[in-house]
């Protein structure tokens, strides 16, 4: 899967002391928030694959993104 292909790169970044940031989208809901298109349900799979906690932010700018 795509997640499995990311694992070596993410682990290399973490081992070097970096903080990887993954950006993705699931469809194009025409400026609307559509809960069914959220990638948040992937967090547990990412945590399992990477072996660490994964923080999720629904926004890429603003206070929500800064808090993540």
pLDDT digits (tens, 9 = 90+) for 5-64: 999 999 999 999 999 999 887 777 777 888 888 889 999 999 999 999 999 988 777 887
Instruction: Please count the CA atoms within 13 angstroms of the CA of 26 that sit on its side-chain side.
Output: 11
Q: What is the pLDDT of residue 64?
A: 75
Residues 6+ apart with CB under 8 A from 56: 39, 40, 43, 68
Q: What is the pLDDT of residue 33?
A: 81
- The answer, yes or no, to whether residue 4 has pLDDT greater than 90, is yes
What is the distance between the alpha carbons of residues 62 and 7, in angstroms, rounded to a whole number? 28
């Amino acid at each position: 899967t795509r997640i499995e292909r990311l694992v070596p790169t993410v682990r290399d970044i973490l081992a070097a002391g970096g903080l990887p940031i993954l950006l993705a989208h699931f469809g194009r809901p025409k400026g609307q928030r559509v809960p069914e298109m959220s990638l948040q349900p992937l967090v547990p799979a990412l945590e399992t694959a990477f072996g660490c906690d994964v923080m999720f932010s629904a926004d890429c700018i603003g206070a929500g993104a800064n808090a993540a």
